[in-house]
Amino acid sequence: MTDPAAYLPILASGRWFAHLPPDFAQPLIEMAHLRQLNAGEVLFLRGDAPCGLYAVVRGAISISGTGGRANEARSALLTRLEPPHWFGEISVFDGSARTHDAHATEASTLVQVPHERLQAWLQAHPVHWHALALLLTDKLRTAFVAIEELALLPAPQRLARRLVMMAEGYGQWTAEGQSRRV
């Protein structure tokens, strides 16, 4: 399939996209194109220029960070994004460089809304910035919960909570009771 609209059922299974007003969802898909990645292929790296908003429609993307001195550098897997997860909205808002690395964990298909096209459309339709902000604030809430748990819960409970969040798709699905095996 080469048409992003062919993936509408997958996208609509996600809470954020399912609740978009049609006058934003339709243009979003019309602006998009599909991006295929092989397992291990880089989508973007920390410091890269903004390149768009993405949705995973097949496969999985790992978001990671690396830090420390060159001879002591360590990597951390921050999250694994699976269908119908949207990501890349931070750079849409601030126009700044990518904050983390994104790699295909397995062969993956993404819907990509190019940065410049999305920015131009949002400038012409500023009322829809709010809908995009909801994607960002949902992730911010999840991050605050994770930070709180890191500070307050013992390691076994943090692990259990993280596994539950992964199994429930980080709250991204529309259907109640939907889960995955982790």
* pLDDT for position 179: 52
Q: What is the pTM of this model?
A: 0.84
Kindly state whether residue 181 falls inside one of the protein's structural domains. Answer: no
Residue 182 falls inside a structural domain: no
pLDDT for the residue 174: 56
Which residue segment(s) compose the domain that 40 sits in?
4-171
Does 176 fall in a domain?
Answer: no
88-118 pLDDT per residue, tens: 999 999 999 999 999 999 999 999 999 999 9
- Domain membership of residue 85 (yes or no) is yes
For residue 28, tell me if it sits in a domain. yes
What is the percentage of the chain residues whose pLDDT exceeds 90?
A: 68
Domain-embedded: residue 150:
yes
Q: What string of DSSP letters covers 150-171?
A: HHHS-HHHHHHHHHHHHHTGGG
Contact 26, 55 (CB under 8 A): no
Q: What's the CA gap between 119 and 124, in Å, rounded?
A: 9
Instruction: Please give the tally of structural domains in the chain.
Output: 1
The C-alpha angle with vertex 64 and arms to 95 and 118, in degrees rounded to 5, equals 25
Q: Read off the CATH number of the domain in which 124 is found.
A: 2.60.120.10
Task: Examine residue 139 and state whether it is found in any structural domain, yes or no.
Answer: yes
| CA–CA gap between residue 54 and residue 114 (Å, rounded) | 9
Residue 177 falls within a domain, yes or no? Answer: no
